[in-house]
Structure formats: structure tokens, C-alpha cells
Amino acid sequence: MKAISVRLLLAILFHAVVLEAAYCQAQLDIADYTKYALTQEGDAAKGKAIFDSNRVACSNCHSIDGSRDRSAPDLFAVGDKFGRREIVDSVLTPSARIAEGYETTLILLDDDSVVSGVIRSSTAESIELLVATGQVLSVQLDEIQERRGSAISIMPHGVQSILSKGEFNDLIEFLASLKQYESSAITQKGMPNPIDALPRSIDLHPIIDESMQFEHPVWLSSLPGSGDHLVVIEHQNRKIWTLRKPKASQAPTAVSKQLFLDLGVGPPNAGRLACIAFHPSYLSNGKYYLFDRVTLEGKMVAAVFEHQASDDRQRDSGRDARLIVKVPQDTGGHFGGWLEFGKDGFLYVSFGDSGPQEDPNGNAQNRSKMLGKIIRIDIDRKANGKEYAIPDDNPFVDDSNTLPEIWALGFRAPWRLCFDKVTNDLWLGDVGQDRSEEITIVRKGENHGWNVFEGFEPFSNRFRRSNEMYTMPVFAYARRYGPSVTGGYVYRADPNSSFYGKYIFGDYESKRIFALSQKDRELGEVRQIGIAPQRIVAFGQDVNGEIYLVGYEGMLYRIDFSATEFQYVHKADSSR
């Protein structure tokens, strides 16, 4: 790697020295403002006006309604996320703790100028940066000489020189008031709050060497035929890899992987490979199925393709894929992303409401669309001009108002599901809109409520039908535990473990890992059992029932439950 250029080094030093100087001068003020804000009550309404004012321009960068329509973190529920002290610190000394995913990057351009900002998006040609003025700047990759991380937040420092102590305190009062409304529906259903954390977390063992990290992996499962080969999917690269699990006698991490299939990166923001399912007779027929989001005839679709593996079943054969089913998407979000064969031999596939927020078109309740549904199809037969047949016992085969493919409806973003290997229950983590993340068990013909309900709470009556029954989740959690649930698996490896039969899941953003028990879909107990080092994009399960965690930044971990117990703990503070 080439040495850091003198100019960029100077920029980094300058950056640090200037702030250090400002910081020293401001030290006394900071102590004074902090003490005031921790002892006096402010006026939240006045604080809101300050937040929106041009003097401090907070609202140039931050939204506060959960819409995340600005480039800095949405402060909706910041009063849940942080105590007053932490709120004060994050406004007075923004660089002391930089919010995850909002680190600053310094970039040296070809003309020797330096820009710094938070990278918000990138394509093969350019990146977009949020800069300190609140604007978003686009930089072409071929103009960049060099880039480096910086420990300085781009959020403006020194609000204490603009606001009086009283005004600052009002601003803090306003931020502290930004809490998620705790609905009675959640408490009535006995949703525990707080969720207790285990005194001793589960262990996460990396199964690959750091040098082998994947490029945004999103799926991990076993390759049929050999107990020790895993399959990993890369989301945007659209590559599938196999790797051999390290044996107990070997180094604990794998160091090599083999390419199974390379579909190539699609157009920006279009191609997303999400899931693989092997035919129950894969070893004899070599057929496997992919859930992919692609552009077909100029239209973005979520689609299932049938592929053919090589004779040794270790890679794709290179033969043309067959399109099985495609579902046109309204936006780039909530496309679903899971498919798996049931014990009945039929293929189950999940499709999301396809966005935008709130499902304004009512897709998830629309029975003539596959959006917001789980479908079930027979891949071994073809009928009625389709590439598949409808199983005779699908729930809506005799209902002329409902597509016969539909198995269950009313889902928003059903990204990760699983069948319990023992009970055959179909578990789903459905990502919520504003308030709650839901874990549910889905049965044939059920309507799980979105967007009439979000979790346990009524959301909108626009697409409500009279006499419709809506199935409630097993569990829902509020924003303070995270904004984006990732469904996992029921642990079925060691029958003597206290985690045996517990459903393991997590939150993509907060990285909390949870376990819960249930009976007849009534919640038993739920625990926070650990925190992941990377964003939890998926869990995986191998043929032995062991559970893995897939970090979106590239690492794969095996979850080791042996050092702790799924027991009841009375511990008040599990919020961090």
C-alpha cells in the first residue's frame, strides 16, 4: 500500500489541531453548559424552535420523524436511545462518540484539494458525501488520489458559542423528549420492557479468517451432500461461494473459498441476490433456485430462477437459468428475499410490499398481487401456462378473489424466514415501519395484518376489510431495541442446551442478538443474548442445526451457546 501523501497528512493534522485548539478554549464552557443542562429543566417547545432555526441548522442534517430523509442520523427516539448526559455530550462534543455508520472520510482530490464528509452512497463511478454545510457532494472516483478515515465528526462543533445556556438547555429538553410512544397494545400483550440481557453473553467465533471477508454477504446455509461445506451469497456482487467449515483439529477459521456462481454486478441499485434453495433431490437432479432482484425488460422485478449445478454438484453448470416467477416492484425497497423448500416438497417464497413507506398502495392486503405475501408453488410440475403448478391444498385455490399461489398475506419486508427443523413452524422477522419490529409464526391462509396493523398496533384502516381476521405476532419490540429486525433460526443442535428450541434473531442496526421461547404462539420469555460486532443481515443454519451470524460488513460467525444459559435474570438496565 502506498505511503500516505504529505498533503493528506497535513490535512489530517490540521483537522485535529484546529479542533483541539477550539476544544481547549471551549472546555470551560462545555463543563458549564453540561452542568446547567443536567440540573435545570428546559422548555422542549422552545428547544424545537431552536432545532429548526437557521442559527444552529440541526434540521438541515437531521430528521426527527423516523423518515430518515436527511443524511445524518434520524433523531426520532433519541430520547430512548440516550440518557440526558449522552445527549448533552453528543451535541457539545460530537467527535467524542461518532454514531455507527457516520464516520468521517477525508479525500484528497487530483487537484490537491481535500474534502471531508460522511459517505452516504457510492456507485462504480462516484461517491456521495454529506459535508459540514449539510449539503451532499458528489465526487467522481477517478478524481480521487487518496482517502482516509478521520476521527472528527462533521457535525458542527461549538454550539455553546452560538446558544445561551438556557437556549442550549431547551434544545436538550427537546431532544430528550423525542421518545417512542409506548403503546398500550404492546404492554397489554405482555411484551417485556425492558428486555433483560443475559449476564454472560453467547460467544461468536469467526469461521473465516479476517482476510477472507465477504463483500456484503447476506445468506449462509449448508451445501447438500457434504456435511462440512457452506454456501455464502454476496448481495450486490451477486456471487455465490462455497467454503469448507474448519475442522476441530484445524485452525479455527477457514482461509479459502470456491466460486460457485458469478452473476455479475447488475446496474446500480438494481441487482440484489438474496437467497438460494436447493431442490430436495439436488444430489440427483442438480437443480437449485435463486431469489434475485433484477431488471427485466426495463422493469425492476423480484424473481425466482431455476439453475442447474455441475455434475459434481460443486458449482453452477453454466447452463441458462429458467425464470420461474417474477413480481414487478414499485420501488427498490422491501422486495422480500427468501425461498426454501418445505418438508412437503413445495417451494415457499417471500415477497415484500415493494415500498414505498407505509405501503400507500395497499399491496400487502391486495389479494391479486404477490407483493407482501408468502407464496407456495410446486416446482416439479407445470400447469396453466406457468412454469410451476399450484399445490391442490393451497389455502386460496377456491377463492376467485385471491391468487392461488398465495400461502399467507399481510407482510411488509419479510427478509428472513425459517422452518423449525423439529416442529416445522414457519418463523418470520418482519421489518416494521415506525414503531415495532415483529417476530411471527406463519400458518396457512393467515393474514398477518400489514398495513392495517404494525406489530400489535393498528396502523391504517385504508385497506382494512370487514370480517377479516388478522394474526398477531408472537413478539414485537420497540425502537429502543433497534429499527430493523433480522429473522433467524430455532436452535436445534445440542438437545441439552438451555437454548434448544429457542428462536434466535437479531436487529440489523442495533446489532442486538435475542432469543425467545413461545408456546402456541404466545410469548414465553425473551432475552438479549449478545451484541454482534457487525450489522446482522442474516443468520444461517447448517445441517447439524448450528446457528451462524452473517455480518453485512463481511464476517461470518458461529454462535456458541455453551458458556451461558437462557435463564431468567432480574436486571433493569439492558438498554446499552
Site residues for ligand HEC per CB under 6 A: 56-58, 60-62, 72-73, 75, 78, 81, 87, 90-91, 94, 98-99, 102, 118, 132, 134, 153-156, 159, 171, 175
Instruction: State in angstroms the smallest separation of the CB of 530 from ligand HEC.
Output: 21
**81/502 with CB nearer ligand HEC:** 81
| Contact predicate 488/429, CB 8 Å | yes
Instruction: State in angstroms the smallest separation of the CB of 235 from ligand HEC.
Output: 25
How many residues comprise the chain?
A: 576
**350/534 with CB nearer ligand HEC:** 534
Q: Cα–Cα distance between 90 and 62 in angstroms, integer?
A: 13
**56/327 with CB nearer ligand HEC:** 56
Instruction: State in angstroms the smallest separation of the CB of 246 from ligand HEC.
Output: 37
**37/409 with CB nearer ligand HEC:** 37
Instruction: State in angstroms the smallest separation of the CB of 177 from ligand HEC.
Output: 13
Q: Cα–Cα distance between 380 and 282 in angstroms, integer?
A: 12
Q: Cα–Cα distance between 196 and 402 in angstroms, integer?
A: 42
Instruction: State in angstroms the smallest separation of the CB of 27 from ligand HEC.
Output: 19
**33/241 with CB nearer ligand HEC:** 33
**61/263 with CB nearer ligand HEC:** 61
Other Cβ atoms within 10 Å of 96 Cβ, number: 12
The rounded radius of gyration (Å) of the Cα atoms in the chain is 25
Contacts of 210 (CB under 8 A, 6+ apart): 555
Q: Cα–Cα distance between 29 and 13 in angstroms, integer?
A: 25
**91/547 with CB nearer ligand HEC:** 91
Neighbour-count burial for 22-35, b at 16+ CB within 10 Å, e otherwise: ebeebeebbeebbe
Q: Which three three-digit cell numbers place residue 235? A: 448481495
Determine the residue type at 320.
Answer: D
Instruction: State in angstroms the smallest separation of the CB of 171 from ligand HEC.
Output: 6
**134/506 with CB nearer ligand HEC:** 134
Q: Which three three-digit cell numbers place residue 269? A: 441499485
| Contact predicate 447/489, CB 8 Å | no
Other Cβ atoms within 10 Å of 74 Cβ, number: 17
Instruction: State in angstroms the smallest separation of the CB of 176 from ligand HEC.
Output: 10
Instruction: State in angstroms the smallest separation of the CB of 133 from ligand HEC.
Output: 7
Determine the residue type at 32.
Answer: D
Cis check: omega of the bond before 194, within 30 degrees of 0: yes
Q: Please choose, from the candidates 326, 263, 334, 331, the residue with its C-alpha nearest in 3D space to the C-alpha of residue 296.
A: 326
**56/276 with CB nearer ligand HEC:** 56
Q: Which three three-digit cell numbers place residue 31? A: 463543563
Cis check: omega of the bond before 267, within 30 degrees of 0: no
Instruction: State in angstroms the smallest separation of the CB of 41 from ligand HEC.
Output: 18
Cis check: omega of the bond before 451, within 30 degrees of 0: yes
**19/87 with CB nearer ligand HEC:** 87
Instruction: State in angstroms the smallest separation of the CB of 106 from ligand HEC.
Output: 14
